[in-house]
Amino acid sequence: MRTAKIALFALILLSISACTVRKQTLYFSKNSTTDTSVLITDIPPYVQSVVQPDDILAINVTSISNFTEKNPVTIFSDGGLEYTLIPTIGRGGEGGGGGTKGYLVDPEGLIDYPVLGKLKVAGLTLREIKTLLAQRLRSEYIKDPVVEVRIINYKVTVMGEVRWPGVVIAPNHRMNVLEAVAAAGDILVTGRKDNVMVIREQNGVRKFARIDLNSRNAFTNPFFVLKSNDIIVVESNRSVRQGNNNDFTNFYLPLIGTIVTTFFAVYAIILINNK
């Protein structure tokens, strides 16, 4: 009987503590509704990223035909220079940073590809680059080429009030603000979820956008889906850091409640053990 009472008190304590943490990490709390059809219809369609200068492309060419002197597939495979990627962030510390081969897109948007020479790739999607290479190789060098193209340094930078500020690599060439923030260890309680800034450079012009992660309208923001080299800045909540009375109920009151609840729960357990 005594053991059951102790377990009951422990369960109540854990439930209250969980509620406190949940309040601190809540997203999309504004305009909450059970109707999700609005979210589905308002989300803009995914737009494929285009290659830009300073991207590094990994290009692999294979063929269903036999390798012969007239079918020099090996010339076009595993090419490019070796680059050391920027170390990435994560729970286990820094990762990545290993050497990998690829073709660097120069400031003019060109890559120097074997035999074919200079190719203009900036402004093209990966699918368009695959088509371009396949057509050139099929017409002159390789029968039935199969071309695969990846951006191996597709990255975004997360700064400010997150657990692990740094560079995040997106291996599938697609990442949104929530995924980037999650990779950086989530926004701290001292960070503002309602005013996350995304910095993006397009055609030499730097653009700034604000995203409110407390609102479900964040999904419809054109900057919600990130592009390579975007920068995310999570601003500090000054009212939390300065102990502003306006934020007392959101930050300090739950903390005090947890401490008081813990004290009384431990006290009750001691009383039960003494009976």
| 200 shares its domain with 257 | no
Strand partners, 58: 150
- CATH code assigned at 139: 3.30.1950.10
- CATH code assigned at 181: 3.10.560.10
In a domain, 241, yes or no: no
Tell me the two tokens of residue 108: 């003019």
In a domain, 258, yes or no: yes
In a domain, 243, yes or no: no
Residue range of the domain that includes 229: 37-47+154-236
pTM of the complete model: 0.64
User: Does residue 53 sit in helix, strand or coil?
Assistant: coil
In a domain, 30, yes or no: no
- The amino acid at residue 196 is V
- pLDDT for the residue 21: 45
| Cβ pair 181, 165 in contact under 8 A | no
The number of angstroms, rounded, from the C-alpha of 183 to the middle of its chain's C-alpha atoms is 6
Per-residue model confidence as pLDDT tens digits over 127-167: 999 999 999 988 877 878 888 998 888 889 999 999 999 99
In a domain, 32, yes or no: no
Query: Number of folded domains in the chain?
Result: 3
Classify residue 198 by burial, with Cβ atoms within 10 Å: 0-12, 13-18, 19+. buried
| 60 shares its domain with 138 | yes
In a domain, 139, yes or no: yes
Strand partners, 208: 199
- pLDDT for the residue 238: 75
| 264 phi/psi in degrees, rounded to 5 | -70, -35
Using CA atoms of 257, 262, 263, 264 in order, give the dihedral in degrees to the nearest 10. 90
How far apart are alpha carbons 214 and 102 in whole angstroms? 40
| 112 shares its domain with 189 | no
| Cβ pair 213, 196 in contact under 8 A | yes
| 7 shares its domain with 43 | no
The number of angstroms, rounded, from the C-alpha of 270 to the middle of its chain's C-alpha atoms is 47
| 74 shares its domain with 103 | yes
| 214 shares its domain with 252 | no
Pairing mode of beta strands 117-120, 110-113: antiparallel
Strand partners, 111: 119
Cα 228 to Cα 30, 33, 63: the distances in Å are 29, 33, 30
| 263 shares its domain with 145 | no
Per-residue model confidence as pLDDT tens digits over 115-129: 889 999 999 999 999
Q: End of a domain among 151, 177, 206?
A: 151
List, for the chain, all residue ranges whose pLDDT scores fall below the cut of 70: 1-26, 29-47, 65-99, 239-253, 273-275
How far apart are alpha carbons 254 and 16 in whole angstroms? 10
How far apart are alpha carbons 76 and 162 in whole angstroms? 42
| 88 phi/psi in degrees, rounded to 5 | -105, 175
Helices (H), 84-220: 126-140, 177-183
| 41 shares its domain with 169 | yes
In a domain, 107, yes or no: yes
In a domain, 65, yes or no: yes
DSSP string, 93-120: S-B---EEEEEEPPTTSEEEETTTEEEE
How far apart are alpha carbons 221 and 148 in whole angstroms? 31
